[in-house]
Structure 1
């Protein structure tokens, strides 16, 4: 346990839940994070994952209920009232023109079904600001979805920034990912790398719970399979010391997950042009990161055995054997297959954008 970094008043059994466990001496000549504390790995790391899940759940609800939902409700209500005022103003001008031409005055309903009438000055007023149940239900659904996607946008923006920080300080390259296998095993772990790994593992573990608790969507089983494989890869690479390729893969994956939620947020706010433009950018980002750079990472795993000779020595952190690498490689390929299926759906949405029908996510946004 990391008693040195824990508050003195904290009970010992809670220390693994609030600190990075297994502190150890720094390498003599570290090739990254020379000023960081270093750590080993072990089962106590699961305690911090539990804390991350709990904190993320609390933050998600606070941000969703106190910031995102009120903003979305205010924006949609304001836009609705603006549209009604515009229609009322148009009706007023039309009625004023009719009065000028000697036309008779008559009360009528506006485009939203709200009664309007002329007052003594010849102006038309909206009789009430009542929102129909159908409109209110649609608005409520948009508010909830906006808040859900807003949290994803915030999380992935933060975690991608953290991944960029980690990647910047590691001696690895995106376009030549064979670097992630050089000087294996990469132990002990620098504090930022360990924190990044545990945070990402906690998020995808939490997502497995979330997608089973929410209403099932059209790609439920694909998403479930994706998350299970992702968590298995994270945990396996963490304990087998394949952490540098893991950091690279997470860094690549998180980039796209910033833009899809943002496109959906624009969609729920009825900002169709921004939605379509963001979705096109998301599509390009997906093709580059998940079907080019990710494939390069897969190829690097295929070449790993040529870089590091096969050796199984858990005492010194060596888990470089053909079965281990092939298992790791097969799961990466499985992720690429799922992503290829999703990319086909993304292309279908892109066709809708080009044909003028607007972007609508066929992957997961509508319930089955």
Structure 2
């Protein structure tokens, strides 16, 4: 008996939040109460045995992670430092500007390529149920998808190291580490069990918000002296951040990704051996919860801006000890120029 015949309900082609909650709950109940299915322990064991990740793939990702560290250093030393000198940034914002400018460059390039794949080449964005067509463990991954997957996986492994040793320390330091670990694990596992199509949708729904996040911080760092010519650009980029974050991470992500992995996958892949169903969905829901948490932080920044208490960087995640008074900043600036 096929999975479609065993499961009486039907999934929605245009789900709402209500459909997500109800259908996902019904699917979970059915999946773990069905007497004919094999045990969860056996499912996990079979899923791990079906991992398709050779040594070349692993070494490629490790190499890319090290390469990103070198590229970031070169970018900060050559490109960003010239901009710092030109715009005469304050000392506290020098390092943060380099961080945001580097991430802005990466996310812009990565998201543009990913959006091209899911929107125009494969049409997964408009018809997310297509990600499960002809799925099988160990299936061939197209080269154009493999490229973005290895780059993204290498970048997030690099980001774990960067958050620990390179980036400025912020209040949500441990949340950021959790985010990078979850994201790197999702990318690694989804490739190994050939959930790379849904992985493209996850990346597409997230990276666009990161573009506007880093752009809003970058222009905010430039707008820290008497010259306020970047103020309007700061408002525009921050407004786009709020809009894109809500649309892509809090609307499209749950309705296109969470619904697809939690509900549609049962119809389309159970007969071929649904791998790591619950663990994979748990990781995606953790990512969604983190998105909600950060959205409230963004709203906090908006509240501070409306009431005139926004700090210099425009980032409410920064530690208080990193904030310098104008006099201290001027002293450090003088020491730097001597």
Q: Same fold (TM over 0.5)?
A: yes
- Report the counterpart of residue 177 of structure 1 in structure 2: 128
1:302 and 2:253 are equivalent in the alignment: no
The residue that corresponds to 2:111 in the other structure is 160
In the TM superposition, what whole-angstrom CA distance separates every residue of 1:84-105 from its partner, at most 9, and x where no partner exists? xxxxxxxxxxxxxxxxxxxxxx
CA distance in structure 1 between the aligned counterparts of 2:143 and 2:259, rounded to whole angstroms = 28
Match of 1:212? 164
User: More displaced, 152-161 or 172-181?
Assistant: 172-181
Whether the 8 Å CA contact 2:190–2:196 is kept in 1: the answer is: yes
Provide closer, same or farther for how the CA distance between residues 185 and 367 of structure 1 changes in structure 2, counting only shifts above 3 A: farther
Q: 2:148 aligns to what? A: 196
Q: 2-side partners of 1:366 and 1:207: how far apart?
A: 23
Would the aligned equivalents of 1:253 and 1:290 in 2 still touch at CA under 8 Å?
Answer: yes
**May I ask how many residue pairs the two structures share in their alignment?**
259
Match of 2:30 in 1: none
Mark the structure with the bigger radius of gyration.
1
Could you tell me how far apart the structure 2 residues matched to 1:147 and 1:209 are?
A: 16
Q: Shift of the alpha carbon at 1:353?
A: 2.9
| Structure 1 residue matching 2:270: 3-state secondary structure | coil
Looking at structure 2, the residues matched to 161 and 196 of structure 1 have their Cα atoms a distance apart, in angstroms, of 11
What is the alpha-carbon distance in structure 1 between the residues aligned to residue 122 and residue 86 of structure 2?
A: 47
Alignment match, 1:251: 204
What are the Cα deviations for residues 346-368 of structure 1, in whole angstroms up to 9, with x where unaligned? Answer: 11112223334447222357668
Post-superposition CA distance 1:149-181 (Å, at most 9, x none): 110111111111221232245433324422211
Q: 1:358 to 1:220 in 2, by over 3 A?
A: closer
* Structure 1 equivalent of residue 247 of structure 2: 288
Residues 1:164 and 1:42: Cα distance change in structure 2 (over 3 Å): same
Conserved in 2, the CA contact under 8 Å of 1:175 and 1:293? no
Greater share of residues in helix: 2
**CA RMSD, aligned part only?**
2.1
1:274 to 2:230 alignment: no
The partner residue of 1:363 within 300, 303, 317 is 317
Report the structure, 1 or 2, having the larger strand content.
1
Q: 1:189 is paired with a residue of what secondary structure?
A: coil
- Structure 1 residue 144 corresponds to structure 2 residue 95: yes
Pairwise CA distance, 1:224: 0.9
Unaligned runs of 5+ in 1: 1-39, 78-138, 313-319
Residues 100 and 218 in structure 2, CA contact (< 8 A), matched pair in contact too: yes
Over 3 Å counting, the alpha-carbon distance change for 1:147 and 1:184 in structure 2 is: same
Distance 1:176 1:167, change over 3 A: closer
Is this contact kept in 2: 1:69–1:144, CA < 8 A?
no
What is residue 42 of structure 1 aligned with on the other side? Answer: 54
With structure 1 as the length reference, what TM-score do the two structures score?
0.66
- Tell me, in whole angstroms, the C-alpha distance in 2 between the residues paired with 1:366 and 1:202: 32
Structure 1 residue 310: deviation in Å? Answer: 3.8
Distance 2:54 2:321 in 1: 39
Residues 223 and 288 from structure 1, CA distance in 2 versus in 1: closer, same or farther, beyond 3 angstroms?
same
Which moved further from structure 2: 285-294 or 270-279? 270-279
- Residues 142 and 216 from structure 1, CA distance in 2 versus in 1: closer, same or farther, beyond 3 angstroms? closer
- Shift of the 284–367 alpha-carbon distance from structure 1 to 2, 3 Å rule, reads farther
Counterpart CA distance in 2 for 1:345 and 1:48 is 36
Whether 1:227 aligns to 2:180 is yes
Partner of 2:42: none
Is residue 258–residue 281 contact of structure 2 (8 Å, CA) maintained in 1? Answer: yes
Distance 2:252 2:319 in 1: 26
Gaps in structure 2 of 5+ consecutive residues: 1-51, 224-229, 323-338
Distance in 1 separating the partners of 2:193 and 2:317:
33
How does the TM-score come out when normalised to structure 2?
0.71
Is 2:290 the partner of 1:338? yes
Greater relative contact order structure (CA < 8 Å, 6+ sep)? 2
Deviation, structure 1 residue 140: 2.5
